[in-house]
Amino acid sequence: MAHVLGANQYGKAENRVVRIVRDTPRHEIRDLNVSTSLRGDFEAAHITGDQADVLPTDTQKNTAFAYAKIHGIDSIEDYGLALGRRLLEACPAASSAQVRIEEHAWDRIGDHSFVRRGGAVRTAVVTVGREHTSVLSGIADLVVLNSTDSEFRGFLKDEFTTLPETDDRILATSLVARWRHTLSEGGDGVDWNASHAAALQTLLETFAGTYSRALQETLHAMGGAVLDSQPGIAEIRFSAPNKHHFLVDFSGFDVPGLTNDGEVFIAADRPYGLIEAQVLRDGLPPAPDAWLHLPGFC
C-alpha cells in the first residue's frame, strides 16, 4: 500500500532554563520551561535516515541556554523571538521554528532570596517562519471564582437530564488564555511585559465585574474587553474547565434548624465541563501559521 510522510516536526522539550542576573547585589531571577521545535523539509531523515539537514535537539537545548545569557530575558516573548530566529538561521532546511515557554514566578524576600509563587503561569508560543512571525502570549492555571452573580438555566433537556436549574451558583475555572498579537517588523519594539500585565488585569476585572448567565458569556465578555483595550491584539483563545461547586445537602442530618443557604459546597474536580472559545477582531485575516492550532495550544 502506498504511503507518504505527513506533517512532522522535532525539537527539545522542557528545557528548565533559570537565569540569575547578578550585575548588582540585588539579584533578579527568571525561571523558564522552554520547548523548541523545527518544521520543514526533513523527509530524508524519516525516509532514508539521512540526518544531513537535521539540527540536533541537543543543539537546540544548548542554544536555549546560551541565549538566556547572550540575549537575556527581558520578557519571554522577546527571548522566544531571538531564540526562534537563531534556530531558523542555524537550520536551512527548516521553514519555521517554534518556541514554547512557561514562566514560573518568584517573589522577592531579600536582595538575593526568593520564594516560589504558586498559581498562574505566564506563557508564550513564538513561531518564527521565513515569511511570517507570530506570537501568542498567555496565562495558564489562572484559578478564579465568583461566589455569586452567576446562573445557569433555560438549557436544553432530554430524558437523561438531571441537572437542576439555578439562578445563584459559584462560577469557578482554571483558565488558560492565549492572545495573538498583530506584529510589524517581527515584533520588535513591543513592550511585552506591559501588554501582558494589562491583558491579565483586564481579564480579572472583567471576570469580577460580569454577571454571568453561563461561562461562555463570561469568556466572550473577557475576550472582547481585551481586544477593546489593546489594538495590537488580534484574537484571544480560552480553554476553561468549569470547576463545579455543589451545594451540600443538609436535609438528611438530624440537626434541628441546620440549613445550607448557599454557604457550604463540595468542590468536585472531575468530571468537569470544558468550555473553549475564540474571540476575534472583526476584519482581520486568520492566523498565518497552522502551528497555532496544534493540540494543547487552545
Give the active site residues.
12, 57, 244
Pull the grid cell for residue 243. 470547576
List b or e across 189-211, with b for residues whose CB sees 16 or more CB atoms inside 10 angstroms. ebebeebbeebbebbeebbeebe
CA distance 33 to 18: 9
Give 286's DSSP letter. P
Nearest Cα residue to 239 out of 296, 288, 287, 282: 296
Cα(201)–Cα(196) distance, rounded to whole angstroms?
Answer: 9
Other Cβ atoms less than 10 A from the Cβ of 177: the count is 24
Cα 42 from Cα 49, distance rounded (Å): 10
Contact present, 167 and 151 (Cβ < 8 Å): yes
- Residue 51: is it exposed, middle or buried by C-beta count within 10 angstroms (0-12/13-18/19+)? exposed
For 250, phi and psi rounded to 5 degrees? Answer: -90, 0
